[in-house]
Amino acid sequence: MNHQHQNERARIREAMDRLLTGQATASNGSLTVVALAAEADVHRMALLKRHVDLKNEFYERVRVETHQVPETEKRLRETVTKLKKTIANQRAEIEELREQVTRLALASAVLTQEDDRQAGHAPAPNNVVPFRPPKA
């Protein structure tokens, strides 16, 4: 590791400590990666790409030291809950539509049969016309 990389990591660790003790100086004090990056004066992508271990350490410390769930995890859990509800609604709708298709098919068959009876048509097997004439 070069000196700049070590310096960056040290700043991130110091920023973690300030955020977790509620003594933020350069950010809004929220327990997020964005606030951590602002507090450490590093680009957010540095935390997400070069210092993933420190980002994970930060979120673990948020859980352990503050007994809070990180904001990103809360948002993900809310999204998962909404998606599960959407899936359940769609499954119910699909099942309802399948039942409706079955009822409509049965109703169509009954109506067709009643129409044939009223018209006096009896299905005759000799009224079938082939698509292609038989080869001679």
Structural domain span for residue 99: 72-116
Pair 50, 17 in one domain: yes
Question: How do the residues of the chain divide into helix, strand and coil, expressed in percent and rounded to 5?
Answer: 75, 0, 25
Pair 64, 79 in one domain: no
pLDDT of residue 96: 96
In-domain check, residue 126: no
Domains in the chain, number: 2
Q: pTM of the prediction? A: 0.54
State the 10-residue block means of pLDDT for the chain, 136 residues long: 83 92 87 91 89 91 84 88 97 96 92 77 62 66
pLDDT of residue 120: 67
Report the C-alpha dihedral over residues 105, 110, 114, 116, rounded to 10 degrees: 50
d(CA 10, CA 15): 9
In-domain check, residue 129: no
Pair 62, 87 in one domain: no
Spatial CA neighbour of 60 closest among 70, 74, 72, 46: 70
In-domain check, residue 125: no
Pair 44, 95 in one domain: no
In-domain check, residue 82: yes
Pair 9, 53 in one domain: yes
Pair 7, 53 in one domain: yes
pLDDT of residue 65: 86
pLDDT of residue 10: 92
d(CA 109, CA 114): 9
In-domain check, residue 123: no
In-domain check, residue 122: no
Pair 80, 61 in one domain: no
